[in-house]
Structure 1
Amino acid sequence: MIRCVARGHERGYTLIEVLVALFIISLGLLGMAGLQVTSLKQNQSAYMRSQATILAYDIIDRMRANVSAVDNGNYFVSSGSLTAGCETTSGCTDTQMASHDIARWQARLAEELPSGGGLICRDTDTDDSTGGNITTPVCGTNTDTDLPVVVYVWWNDERASDAVSTRLAVSFSL
């Protein structure tokens, strides 16, 4: 005697359902990877901004410690030079210290920030950008002690946006 057993419908997932589920999971994983990349870019940009701020306030503190050189305009130069005496107990003059501070500050800018640079001057306009391009600042007269001191720091921040450079300007009065 042969028994015929009628098979009921098999239960389970079809190949199409599995492929659709894999497709949806892959899209989710790609989205997560994109978020991670964007997060890393923004973190790097925030780090560079923090470094620029720290370096700007570093030179400001140096200037506050050497007010006579600020009054004489010794900090308002495009570059400085290192003086060995400023690093020892033998000491150096206020003018030499200002030049030494500028040289050390600009070296740290170049070291800490990609294509980093900086300039200090007396100016009322802290936004010297033209058409969205960050340019080297054009400073006002550096002899007018009524104008605030402005510290400009710029660097290459192409990861953050379409701009190739970013600039931070800190204005203060002594």
Structure 2
Amino acid sequence: MKNQQKGLSLIEVMVSLVILVVGLIGIFNLHIIAKRGSFESFQQTQATYLANDIINRMKLNRSQLLLYRGTYAGLLSKPGKSCDVGVGATVICSNAETRTWDLYQWEQLFGGASELQGTKSVGGLDGATACVDVKATGEVLVVMTWRGVRSVSDGASNKSDFVKGCGTANDRRRTYSLSTVII
């Protein structure tokens, strides 16, 4: 008599499930790493945009250029006068009022105030600090620092003293600096 086996044994099924689970765990880990990398890239893109934004604001208010110098961490209070420009805007602001408004709006942007979830700002850089250095010759250095998702190294460790002094030194600090001349 011949004994023919039909179907799979329990051991074969268990081995197949173990192989499947190991593969799925690898795929999930890859997905998490990709999400982190995507978020880090998004944060750097935001920092680039914000550095360019304040430089453009400074170009439009050249007479106040030296007064844009400082360190900003989202702590400025709202100015008494809104100096928004746009279609139908009738407010006339002095250069000093425009500078104050520019810095306030800029801080609001990197704090995420333009993107709200309920009452919480969610669209900004995590733990952002910005530093602006301006020289009388028109040389401008804008440094954006923020907290990255994972620990790698301090993004300012091999930079100039000005860049090192911007933000809190730690192994999650990311930096972006933009240097230009405004004439």
Q: How far apart are residue 68 of structure 1 and its match?
A: 1.9
1:56-67 correspondence to structure 2 within 5 Å = 56-67=51-62
* Alignment correspondent of 1:164: 172
8 Å CA contact retained: 2:128, 2:145: yes
Is the counterpart of residue 78 in structure 1 residue 78 in structure 2? no
Percent identity between matched residues is 26
Is the counterpart of residue 41 in structure 1 residue 36 in structure 2? yes
Q: How far apart are residue 35 of structure 1 and its match?
A: 0.5
Tell which deviates more after alignment, 6-15 or 41-50.
6-15
Q: How far apart are residue 83 of structure 1 and its match?
A: 4.5
The one-letter amino acid of 1:39's match is: A
- The answer for unaligned runs of 5 or more in structure 2 is 113-123, 154-170
Aligned mates of 2:32, 2:44 — CA distance in 1? 19
1:23-172 correspondence to structure 2 within 5 Å = 23-70=18-65, 73-78=66-71, 82-84=79-81, 86-87=83-84, 89-111=90-112, 112-122=124-134, 142-143=135-136, 145=137, 148-159=139-150, 161=152, 163-172=171-180
Q: 1:15 aligns with which of 1, 10, 13?
A: 10
Greater C-alpha Rg: 1
- The answer for unaligned runs of 5 or more in structure 1 is 1-5, 123-141
Tell me the secondary structure at the aligned position of residue 23 of structure 1: helix
How many residues matched? 146
Tell me the secondary structure at the aligned position of residue 68 of structure 2: coil
**C-alpha RMSD of the superposition:** 2.2
8 Å CA contact retained: 1:114, 1:157: yes
The structure that is strand-richer by fraction is: 2
**TM-score of the superposed pair, with normalisation by structure 1:** 0.73
The one-letter amino acid of 1:97's match is: T
The one-letter amino acid of 1:75's match is: Y
